[in-house]
Amino acid sequence: MKFDLGHRFKNEKLLETAFTHRSFLNENRNKNLISNERIEFLGDAVLELIVSLYLYQKYPQLAEGQLTLLRSQLVQTKTLSLASQNLKVGPQLKLSRGEKESGGNKNPSILADTFEAIVGAVYQDAGFQAAFEFVKKNLLVPSEKLFKDQLPEDFKSKLQENVQALGLNTPNYEILASLGPDHNKTFEVAVFSGTQRLGQGVGKSKQEAEQKAAQKALEKYIKK
């Protein structure tokens, strides 16, 4: 399969697999092909690690909750499908006639899945660094402007700066409650300066709840 992704495959069979949708196999059982589902599974994991590493290194000032939010913005279907569109992946997809007629080569979900499959293929073909460079070039750098002006605010750092400027004790966060099963917990957190409660917040993680508590404290005590 000849298609320029900016990576020269040593094993072109991997590239062909990445572009083969499961619907294509139903009409081409005589061809020795496999769908991209397994390599997409691998690519999904590799992609998450690459994006996590990139954000971790690029934004050392951001808390875990903020990094998680940024990562979710980058690996969502909309963003990944746009990356596939920019690579002109759609026309190269191996789809069934029915899938093609229904616009499958423009389907955001299929395009996003294919991008993950390509990441898995590059990783299998040349290793992590090659996959990292591919993702950086085709997803991270093009998406930079997408989230550059929308970085989630670090309310905890901002609160600490303001509290210190006022000569008060360093903010201290305490968990007031932890509700729900392990896979779907909700945390309630309060932030104190000494014994004074400054704010309270609720979130799906401790970090998110702390950020919201800090935001409430800023809204209540720090004049705009």
Cα separation of the two ends of the chain = 59
Backbone angles phi, psi at 187, to 5 degrees: -110, 140
Structure tokens at 43: 């690519």
CA angle 19, 24, 26 (to 5 degrees): 150
Backbone angles phi, psi at 115, to 5 degrees: -60, -45
Residue 209 has, within 13 A of its CA and on its CB side, a CA count of 20
Look up 174 and say whether it is catalytic: no
The total of other beta-carbon atoms located within 10 Å of residue 48's CB is 15
Q: Which of 116, 125, 208, 210 is catalytic?
A: 116
Look up 101 and say whether it is catalytic: no
Q: Which of 44, 99, 113, 208 is catalytic?
A: 44
Residues belonging to the active site = 44, 116
